[in-house]
Each structure stands twice: as structure tokens, then as C-alpha cells.
Amino acid sequence: MQRWRDRHCTRRRSRVMRIGIIGAGQIGGTLTRRLAALGHDVRVSNSRTPDTLAELEAETGAKAVRSTEAAEGAELVIVSIPQKNVVDLPAGILSGAVAGAPVIETNNYYPQQRDGLISAIEDGQTESGWVQERLGVPVFKAFNGIWWKHLLEKGLPEGAEGRIALPIAGDDDANKQVVFDLINQLGFDPVDAGTIDDSWRQQPGTPVYGKDFDREATLKALAEASPDRTDEWRANTTV
């Protein structure tokens, strides 16, 4: 029996944390807004200079920093940048985080739409496995399949009818619980989607991707997923 099918988490109230966010696009910017509003100490960066995030800083109270400073002292780090840009991150960019801090990556591989060919992923490596190798630390895959506006606006209290469920894949059970607690605090039901090797179940083109399913429908969609990438989500190699 696969872990993502039968594992249940014990939900607890998330503690206030220092959170570093690398990437201030639709998902990174939305998480900056939501997490700062929940009282977390958020540091956010983009690929440019902190002054380009002055409006986001003023709106949220998060501190805009350089990308190399975002993880300093962080108890949790979120990497939310285009897949192709992961290779451009400076070596050791996460080294300033608290030892063992969980790292969430929200990325998706869009070969035709944005990222071009990444051979290892085309050959079967999971998108998050590829990111994990380049960052040099274990990661959790989360937030990759929800529209940013729903992430911003559709969180509901625990137990509410129609609460959206979000799958989380990763290998460290203790840190996975931290991610579960955070997602619960944001207003979504966390669902264990297995290990990083299982994270293909929530990649683009799978039944759960882009859907606002509840917990039961999310588990069903994860079970029905196929590891084969569909044509829309493969690189176009025709000349």
C-alpha cells in the first residue's frame, strides 16, 4: 500500500517562523502576502534588487532582501522560480538557513511554454528530484498545482465544507509535518503525496494538477496518475 494513499497526519497549530522566500512571482508573491498576514517573519527576494520589491514590502511588512540573504536564519525556505532558472541560483544559497530547515519548491516544468528542454526530466526524473539535486538539499513539492488567486483567496478554516486539499511530496516525515501544519494554517487540507520519487503524481498533466479537489478527490486523483508525460508537457523536439 502506497504511503500517499493511507497516511494521515496529526494537524497542529503552526508556530510563528522566520520564512525565506526565493522568488516573488505569482506563487512566491502570494505566499509572501498570506504568510506575512499570518504573523510569520518573512524575507522575500527576486532575481533583481530589493528595491524592486518595495511595493510588496510596504503592503505586507515582509522584508525585501537579496536572493543570497533570503534564507539567512530561516526556519523554512520556499523556492518559487521558473524551473529553468534553478541552475542560475548561486551555490550555497540555502546555507544560511537553520540546520535541517524544510525547503519547499513550488516549481513546474513547462518545456513548450517556458523552460525549454531539460533532458533529465524528459528521461523520467521527477521535476522535484531535479530541483533537489541542483539545490543540494532535500525538498518538498507543494503549492505547484493551485492557481495563485485561489491560494490567495480560498483558504478556509479546518473542517469547513469545500476546503481545498493540497498534495505534499517529500522524504522527511518530521519536516513534512511542519509543511502540513503550515498548509493547514493557510486554510487548505494537507495530503501526503508520498516521497520525492512519487512527486510525479502532482506534476503538470496529472489528474490532480490545477484542480481544487477536496481531500478524498485528491487522494483518488493521486492514485489514478500515470508517470508518462503527456504531449503537452513534453519538450517539442520536432524540427
Q: Characterise 146 by phi-psi region: left (phi > 0), alpha (psi -120 to 50), beta (else).
A: beta
The predicted pLDDT at position 111 comes to 96
Are the beta carbons of 108 and 128 closer than 8 angstroms? no
What is the reported pLDDT for 15? 80
Partners of residue 18 on adjacent β-strands: 41
CA distance 195 to 12: 22
Q: Which residues of the chain have pLDDT under 70?
A: 1-14, 237-239
Task: Look up residue 62 and give its amino acid.
Answer: A
CA 96 from centroid of its chain's CA atoms:
20
Alpha carbon distances (Å) from 131 to 74, 118, 119 = 19, 11, 13
- pTM metric for this prediction: 0.93
pLDDT at 231: 92
- φ, ψ of residue 103 to 5 degrees: the values are -120, 120
pLDDT single digits (tens) 49-98? 999 999 999 999 999 999 999 999 999 999 999 999 999 999 999 999 99
For residue 66, with 0-12 CB atoms within 10 Å meaning exposed, 13-18 middle and 19 or more buried, which class applies? middle
Contact 154, 164 (CB under 8 A): yes
